[in-house]
């Protein structure tokens, strides 16, 4: 079986007797992923942590904006956009935290090697004295 699959033949002409080919007006639609069975199982601990933190952050942020934020006075009509960007930034930090949590769990279980250190962070090796 080919690694790449297509839903339309290479020589298909748009608008034939059967109508346009699947995949839009361009003709064929390619999928660049290998055919594989879907992974179904229990969610990771980091995924559950992200969902819980997401719900908590959304609730806390909405309470903050409702009671403490005077953003329309400062930012005017851009207040909604700025608040949305701040909320997305908060969610991005939560997603990174969940991924790091999954990585730490995998390292603790022996599934991942320890993180590599940068060359700048490594300690220099002590110099050995030359024999006389």
Q: Which residue has the higher pLDDT, 30 or 112?
A: 112
Whether residue 101 lies inside any domain: the answer is yes
Residue 107's domain comprises: 73-113
Number of domains in the chain: 1
- For the entire predicted model, the pTM comes to 0.56
pLDDT band at 14 (very low <50, low <70, confident <90, very high): very low
pLDDT tens string 56-97: 999 999 998 888 777 778 778 888 888 899 999 999 999 999
Whether residue 22 lies inside any domain: the answer is no
Residue 11 has what pLDDT? 47
Query: What's the chain look like in SS3?
Result: CCCCEECCCCCCCCCECCECCCCCCCCCCEECCCCCCCCCCCCCHHHHHHHHHHHHHHHHHHHHHHHCCCHHHHHHHHHHHHHHHHHHHHHHHHHHHHHHHHHHHHHHCCCCCCCCCCHHHCCCCCCCCCCC
Whether residue 78 lies inside any domain: the answer is yes
């Amino acid at each position: 079986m080919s690694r790449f699959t297509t839903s339309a033949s290479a020589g298909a002409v748009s608008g034939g007797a059967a109508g346009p080919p699947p995949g839009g007006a361009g003709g064929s639609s390619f999928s660049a992923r290998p055919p594989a069975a879907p992974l179904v199982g229990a969610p990771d601990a980091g995924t559950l942590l992200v969902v819980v933190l997401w719900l908590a952050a959304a609730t806390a942020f909405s309470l903050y904006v409702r009671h403490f934020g005077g953003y329309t006075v400062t930012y005017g009509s851009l207040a909604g956009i700025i608040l949305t960007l701040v909320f997305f930034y908060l969610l991005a930090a939560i997603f990174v935290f969940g991924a790091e949590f999954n990585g730490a769990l995998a390292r603790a279980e022996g599934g991942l090697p320890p993180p590599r250190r940068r060359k700048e962070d490594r300690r220099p090796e002590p110099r050995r004295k030359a024999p006389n």
